[in-house]
Amino acid sequence: MSKRIIVTGGSGKAGQYIIGHLLAQGYSILNLDLNPLPSPLNEKVHTLKVDLTDNGQVHGALLSHFRLTEPFREPHQQVPDAVIHLAGYARNMIVPDTETYRGNILSFYNVIEAACRVGVKKIVLASSITVYGVSFAEGDVDYPAFPVDEDVDANPMDVYALSKVCGERTARSFARRFGNDIYVMRLGAVVAPEEFQEKFEGYVERPEEYKVHGWAYTDARDIGLMFEKCLVTDGLGFEIFNAVNDELTNFAESTMAFLVKLCPNTPITRQMEAREAPVTNRKMKRMLGFEQKYRWQDFYVAAGDR
């Protein structure tokens, strides 16, 4: 494929890392966002200010030029090669629940519909492992089974995860109708390098608090590669992937022994690898060929070594 990619919500944390990675691989990017990209990305990528809940704005934006030049030098109404949709309210309680639902659902629908109708053959969507119903549950809830793979029922209580489930089903419907590739990436907690030490102190020293993350995470330095693997892998139709890193976020030698200790009533449905993350990325590795570049253990400084 050629390399003209539209990213929605690229000004957010995950978006900045994805855009930075894709630029390094020679992709041309247009960012659709209400906020500008920070420097130096804003010198390389144009941000078009778009309200994604407005269907007309989305249709127009998908056929936009990627660069402001005098005169314009790109072909008029050139269809992008792919759309990566990251935009939306990133969690509960940023705005009231009704607005979280409205904003996220309309953004999903408008981006997917517009992309399909203008002829985009590859759409990659950001979802969340919160859809498994534990992260924002009302009270302490167990996963139905380990490992948590993409076949585990997505059954959330909260409006943020509910909006993600609805977005996933919308994508499945459009992929069936238009026959294009739509890949859904269920992200874990995205951890950037400057957050690493503080975040992993919690993961390592207080693991009982982090069932809500499935004892998994998404390294911001690997997230660009995850999405690039979606761009270069064709012909899968509609698929969902747990977009997390490989390993359990704790020094326990065995994931299975760790889970038996912390979740003794949760069934384990298969033999897991020694340190496999309980929310497993096995499908992404198998079908997209993803291989992580960063292991959290190589960057975390244990309490005794500080």
Q: Is residue 143 part of a domain?
A: yes
Where does residue 96 rank: exposed (0-12), middle (13-18), buried (19+ CB within 10 A)?
exposed
Q: Is residue 58 part of a domain?
A: yes
Q: Is residue 301 part of a domain?
A: no
Enumerate the β-bridge partners of residue 241: 185
pLDDT score, position 301: 86
The residue range of the domain holding 156 is: 4-191+218-246+280-292
The predicted-structure confidence for 118-166, as pLDDT tens digits, reads as follows: 999 999 999 999 999 999 999 999 999 999 999 999 999 999 999 999 9
Q: Is residue 211 part of a domain?
A: no
Q: Is residue 305 part of a domain?
A: no
Q: Is residue 227 part of a domain?
A: yes
Q: Is residue 23 part of a domain?
A: yes
Whether 305 has a pLDDT exceeding 80, the answer reads no
pLDDT score, position 238: 98
Give the separation between CA 41 and CA 20, rounded to whole angstroms: 7
Whether 73 has a pLDDT exceeding 80, the answer reads yes
Report, as an integer, the average pLDDT of 87-91: 98
Whether 1 has a pLDDT exceeding 60, the answer reads no
Report, as an integer, the average pLDDT of 280-299: 97
Q: Is residue 69 part of a domain?
A: yes
153: domain CATH number is 3.40.50.720
pTM: 0.97
Report, as an integer, the average pLDDT of 90-111: 98
The pLDDT mean for the chain works out to 96
Number of independent structural domains in the chain:
1
